Amino acid sequence: MNRRIKNTLITLAFPVLMFLIMEAVCLIAAGRHVIDFSTNLDLVNLVRNTGIACAITYALSFNLTSGRLDLSLGAQRLAGTVIGSNIALALGLSGVWLLLFSLTFGLVFGLVVGLVFVWARVPPMVLGIGMGLILESVVYVTSGGVGLNLFGVQGITILSEAYFTILVVAILLVVVLYLVAYTKFGYQMRAIQGSQRIAQNSGINIFRHAVLCYTFAGGLVGVAGILDAAYKTQMAVTSGNASSGPVVSNTFPMFLGIFLGRWSNQAVGILVATLTLRIFAMGLAKLQLSEAMSNVVNMFLYLAFLVYLANENYFKKRKAWADRLVEVQEKKSKLGIPVEA
Amino acid sequence: MTDVAIREPSSLRNKLLSVWENRWTTRLMPFVILLLIAFAFSLATGGRFLASRNLTIILNQALVVATVATGGTFIFATGNVNLAMGATTVLCETVSAMAFLAILDAGGSVELGLVVMFVISVILAVFIMGFSAILSTKLNVRVLYVTIVMMTLLAAIQQALLGGSTLTIPSKITRMLANNNVHYIIFGVFFAFAVVIFHFTKIGRTLRFIGTNEICAHQTGKFKKDYLLLAFVIGGLGMGLGAMVAIIRSGSVSITTLSSLNMDTMLAIVLGGMSVFGGSKSFVYAGVIGAVTVTALQNGMVMVGVDSNLIQGVRGLLFLLLVAAAQKRPHGLPAPEG
């Protein structure tokens, strides 16, 4: 079979298999379908949730693949969406303008975090916690504690339409795919993922690259934020770094996406992984598990996946070690050296 | 020429650097910061900040963070950061309070309930931290990823157990425990234990060695895997005891209880003068002095009338500045381990 077709089939098998498994479980346990095709409600929800999660996961992938966990991404999402959209609304703009303003302000806040990272050079996780607290505070002050309220605002329904979400995700997919796979930035990213020190010694400006990663990530979470806010018609201010919750939970699709990327590429892998896990989440909801219980199940699955990922070559390594021992023993006996028991 | 001037030992910059990097500066700085905070807020509040009643409040508020942070220094010393300290403490608080109330409901004695509550809290915390360490040391999952998952998982378990309800320990019981200074005794005994282990035994020395140079420690026969498990278990002990202190202090548990504990603990350890990279400059009292500083800062700003949402911005800024100031600025970007 053509390798490309085989890889495509393997990639697509993940969401399809997940759907079939959850469909069977839901039918047996609850007598319900994962996706109720008699109305388009489930489908629209799936598309919207996948789109929002996918944008956040792309944002995470810019830094986390290089070992930088940015815990301020949630606060950047909040700041970009609330401040950007409030400014757009104050200028009398609506609809797609809100998306553009959120994107722009997300980029700005991402740039700020990136510049602070390069200046302070503190561990990324520590930076994320500090910047998260600061940005949440900034959002509180600038919005007077209200956050973003879109209730009754004309022209925002387009942002929560399924076709619009699909369009946005398609654009993000193309942009991220192009950036990661076909640009100098993407090559540099892979070099830094291999070894930051070697990348720096070979002439890559790792500081500029880190700032760019933070900036792109900020823009992406800005997009995710406004899509979410448009559907819920609001985005409330948070404190104590609570904004990082949705971001942390999307580390699972990111790791799964990178794993699936073996049969396609990182951008497609992340999209497919996000879709797969959203189907899983929908199945759990149809089983009438509470949000907390769904999270428990999801996190155990995540742990199991991480354990698998960390040990996937275990048996291969053991076999290689055993083969090597046999080889050594054969060599020894050939040379007449006594073989130890 | 500039380069030569910078390398000149007698240059002002190098003199300042040598003072800044002096071990006594590192050790005394947290106390100086605390005194400065006390002085500034005392001036701003007309002396009310230093009133004995307010100081007792600060001390009591700081006790939970101090207990958890004292255990946390063992983990930090190895150069690892644990994001699940707060979630572990709160889950232990929830489960042990549920056990206590179940025993009372079943007609058991208060004494039995208290013993069971204490034992469950400590064992559960040690189990959770031991499990986290095993995932990392035996199953090779990176500590950072383990703690991310555990943070979310434990919070979800607590939410599933509690739902929207609040558990309340009868106030006469918590008052009785507080009047007998049980929370101070718990903290005092654990702190003394931690000081001995951290500063006067091979375990503490090895943990600091691993934090200073993991490869060198490994080549000297100090295997990170074994000692990381120990660090997590002692950290877990602190979290279990911290949960007990929290119950005695507030007497109630809900899903919003101690929501900022993890952040406060990390801030306390850093404000206490410990590097986030761990190593030889780690000391066990960093968590305690830092916890008092964090609480004093919060208390002082509230007394001055600063909005709580602004306080967190100030704390975030202070956190970043102190971490940046306490570390030697790397030539490259911080290591990719997070």
| Residue A57 contacts B where some CB pair is shorter than 8 Å | no
Q: Does any domain span residue B199?
A: yes
Q: Which long-range contacts link B262-265 to residues 24+ away (Cβ below 8 Å)?
A: B262/B83, B262/B84, B262/B85, B262/B86, B262/B87, B262/B151, B263/A129, B263/A133, B263/A240, B263/A241, B263/B86, B264/B65, B264/B86, B264/B291, B264/B294, B265/B65, B265/B68, B265/B69, B265/B72, B265/B85, B265/B86, B265/B291
Inter-chain residue contact B324 with A120, CB threshold 8 Å:
yes
| Residue B165 contacts A where some CB pair is shorter than 8 Å | no
Q: Regarding predicted confidence, which is higher, B334 or A165?
A: A165
Say if residues B299 and A30 touch (Cβ distance below 8 Å). Answer: no
| Residue B316 contacts A where some CB pair is shorter than 8 Å | yes
Enclosing domain of residue B321: 53-326
* CATH number, domain containing residue B171: 1.10.3470
The residue ranges of DSSP E strands in chain A, in sequence order, are 148-149, 234-235
Inter-chain residue contact B319 with A123, CB threshold 8 Å:
no
For residue A161, give Cα distances in angstroms to A104, A106, A157: 22, 22, 7
pLDDT at residue B212 is higher than 90: no
For residue A197, what are the contacts with CB-CB under 8 A and spacing of at least 6?
B332
pLDDT at residue B2 is higher than 70: no
Q: Does any domain span residue B32?
A: no
**Tens place of pLDDT per residue across chain A (341 aa):** 688 899 999 999 999 999 999 999 999 999 999 998 888 889 999 999 999 999 999 999 999 988 888 999 999 999 999 999 999 999 999 889 999 999 999 999 999 999 999 998 888 888 998 999 999 999 999 999 899 999 988 888 899 888 999 999 999 999 999 999 899 999 999 999 888 889 999 999 999 999 999 999 999 999 999 999 999 999 999 888 888 888 888 999 999 999 999 999 899 999 999 999 999 999 999 999 998 999 999 999 999 999 999 999 988 999 999 999 999 989 988 998 887 65
Q: What is the pLDDT of residue B177?
A: 94
CB-nearest to A307 from B135, B327, B338 is B135
The token pair that represents A179 in the structure block: 């950036």
Say if residues B151 and B246 touch (Cβ distance below 8 Å). Answer: no
Enclosing domain of residue A63: 35-249
Q: Which residues of B269-285 are buried (b: 16+ CB within 10 A; e: fewer)?
A: bbbbbbbbbbbebbbbb
Q: Does any domain span residue B229?
A: yes
pLDDT at residue B5 is higher than 70: no
Q: Which of B197, B226, B222 is nearest to B212 (CA)?
A: B222
Any alpha helices (H) in chain B, and if so which ranges?
A: 2-7, 12-20, 23-44, 52-77, 85-105, 110-137, 143-162, 171-179, 182-200, 202-212, 214-219, 224-250, 261-271, 286-304, 308-326
Q: Does any domain span residue A6?
A: no
Domain count, chain A: 1
Q: Does any domain span residue B70?
A: yes
Structure ipTM: 0.86
Tell me phi and psi for residue A233, to 5 degrees.
60, 15
Length of chain B: 338
A chain contacts of residue B142, beta-carbon cutoff 8 Å: 310
B 35-94 residues with CB < 8 A to A = 81, 83
Q: Does any domain span residue B188?
A: yes
Query: Measured between alpha carbons, how far is B231 from B76 in angstroms, rounded to an integer?
Result: 9
Q: What is the pLDDT of residue A4?
A: 87
The token pair that represents B74 in the structure block: 């063992």
Percent residues over pLDDT 90 in chain B: 57
pLDDT at residue B8 is higher than 80: no
HSE-CB of B121 using CA atoms within 13 angstroms: 27
Q: What is the pLDDT of residue B336?
A: 47
Q: Does any domain span residue A195?
A: yes
Domain count, chain B: 1
Q: Does any domain span residue A198?
A: yes
Q: What is the pLDDT of residue B13?
A: 72
Q: Does any domain span residue B150?
A: yes
Q: Are strands A234-235 and B167-168 parallel, antiparallel or unpaired?
A: unpaired
In order, the DSSP letters of B152-208 are HHHHHHHHHHHTT--EE--HHHHHHHHHTTHHHHHHHHHHHHHHHHHHHSHHHHHHH
- Selected for mutation to probe chain A from B65, B137, B149, B159 (highest A CB count within 10 Å) is B149
| Residue B141 contacts A where some CB pair is shorter than 8 Å | yes
The token pair that represents B310 in the structure block: 């602004």
What confidence tens digit (pLDDT) does each residue in B231-286 have? 999 999 999 999 999 999 988 999 888 888 988 898 898 888 887 778 888 889 99
In order, the DSSP letters of B301-322 are HHHHT--HHHHHHHHHHHHHHH
Q: Does any domain span residue B149?
A: yes
Q: Does any domain span residue A142?
A: yes
Residues B184-198 have a mean pLDDT of: 96
Q: Does any domain span residue B47?
A: no
| Residue A140 contacts B where some CB pair is shorter than 8 Å | yes
Length of chain A: 341
Mean per-residue pLDDT over chain B, rounded = 88
Q: pLDDT category, B10, cuts 50, 70, 90?
A: low
Residue of B nearest to A198 (CA): B332
pLDDT at residue B7 is higher than 70: no
Work out the minimum CA distance from B225 to partner chain A, whole angstroms.
15
